[in-house]
Amino acid sequence: MDETRDTDRLNRTQLSELQLSKLNKLLMEVRKRPFYKQQLKGLELPLKSPEDLTAIPLLTKSDLVHDSKCVPGRIFDLPKHCYSRLHQTSGTKGFPMAVLDTPEDWQWWLRCWEHVLDAAGVCESDIAMMAFSFGPFIGFWTANDALVRRGAMVIPGGGMSSENRIGMILDHECTIVCCTPTYALHLVEVADKIRVSLRDSRVTRVIVAGEPGGSVPTIRHRIEQAWGASVVDHTGASEIGAWGFGSEDGRGIHVIETEFIAELLRFDEENPQGVEVDEGEEAELVLTSLGRFGGPAIRYRTGDVVRGYRHHQQSSPFLWLEGGVLGRADDMLVIRGVNVFPSSIEAIVRELDATTEFRMIASRLEEMDQLEIEIEAEESLARRLGVLFRDRLALRVPVTCVPSGSLPRFEAKSRRMVDRRSSAR
């Protein structure tokens, strides 16, 4: 265990003092750097309270991305030789954005990951299969290094088929699998086809990240039942860092408040700069990373919709997000007056079938958003889904059956939402 996590048991006052100290150190460091010189203009430092952070303009992904080429986001403005890691994330203007980390930043990422490993009870005797591609997407790269640092054996699963990964999980008696929730369910589907029972493997924990699912009860239950293992959720983003870990009861995510300052804001026409919401209200999560000096994200609008509690009965004192990430603010559809998130649709589908592939198609008819579902299933399941959508969402959602194997599969983040609304204009 890392001694830096002795701070996990601070009360709210002590935690606020620690955050303020780290925040001022960060602001003093970046105030003369190219990007933040303008952002912090007129700000009196040091700040007297973490609440003074609201004087700094909000940061969005579009603020970071350049107009062309795969170049680093604007916050990564140290001389190039200072950085030792490069990863890539999708841009909002059609170009990938490079994300850079200094050696010190990378060690900070690993410290954040220690919270996830603690939640999973990882020790030196564990053997972990990293079931992701090891491409430029940051994915589980930091998880890989954090597991190595803890002393676990790590098996890289990039560049191989799902069948081969299952074979390695069995042959090397893996106790941990790291992947997305979608891919955990896909491995179940593949294992069934080759007549392998994942419940008979040595896997006791599946660490998931990259998309909602690990804190969605139906999806979580399906993974745990199929694998005979517990699911440990994790949340993070290339631009901000590894910011959350699953609560003990599996019902949500804790924000690592020793390394991040979290704001829960509602944005609308009357509050374009956001207004703080009450406990338990849906809000967009805004984060400030306190330890990534090479690419400081200050008041970053994550786009994640959450429901947060600072006063709760969880074992960790950190801010608790019930249900984890509920959806993406930019993915939300308004169907006949009802707010619908893709994660809600998936949770309902997974109640009936753990592995069946499906996709959501958003379209627009006479300026109204429409939603339909395509699924590789029999008509009887499609009809049952239609009833569930009507009962749970108070909506009639058309469900169409398509041939088995006709829909795309995903190893990393799933892309089950097909948005055709712009072409309808």
Select from 292, 326, 360 the last residue of a domain.
326
Ranges of H-type helices in 138-254 = 141-150, 162-171, 181-193, 217-227
Does residue 261 sit in the same domain as residue 369?
Answer: no
Residues 6+ apart with CB under 8 A from 170: 196, 201
Asked if residues 389 and 395 have their Cβ atoms less than 8 Å apart, the reply is yes
The answer to whether residue 90 scores a pLDDT higher than 60 is: no
**Quick one: average pLDDT of 42-49?**
92
Cα 400 to the center of its chain, rounded Å: 29
Does residue 163 sit in the same domain as residue 113?
Answer: yes
Tens of pLDDT, residues 289-332: 999 999 999 999 998 999 999 999 998 999 999 999 887 777 76
Tens of pLDDT, residues 182-214: 889 889 989 999 999 999 999 999 999 987 778
pLDDT, position 112: 96
pLDDT, position 269: 81
The answer to whether residue 414 scores a pLDDT higher than 70 is: no
Total number of domains constituting the chain: 2
**Quick one: average pLDDT of 332-353?**
75
User: What is the end-to-end Cα distance of the chain in Å, rounded?
Assistant: 55
Tens of pLDDT, residues 367-376: 567 889 999 9
Tokens linked to 202: 């040595």
pLDDT, position 232: 96
Select from 269, 299, 326 the last residue of a domain.
326
Does residue 207 sit in the same domain as residue 223?
Answer: yes
pLDDT, position 16: 93
Does residue 159 sit in the same domain as residue 266?
Answer: yes
Does residue 29 sit in the same domain as residue 162?
Answer: yes
Strand partners, 363: 370
In angstroms, the CA 269 to CA 180 distance is: 35
Asked if residues 253 and 324 have their Cβ atoms less than 8 Å apart, the reply is yes
Q: Indicate the range of 5-14, 103-112, 270-279 predicted with least confidence.
A: 5-14
Tell me how many degrees the CA angle 169-170-173 measures, rounded to the nearest 5. Answer: 80
Q: Which domain holds residue 263?
A: 1-326
The answer to whether residue 91 scores a pLDDT higher than 50 is: no
Tens of pLDDT, residues 49-75: 888 999 999 998 888 887 656 678 899
Does residue 188 sit in the same domain as residue 256?
Answer: yes
Q: What rounded mean pLDDT belongs to the chain?
A: 88
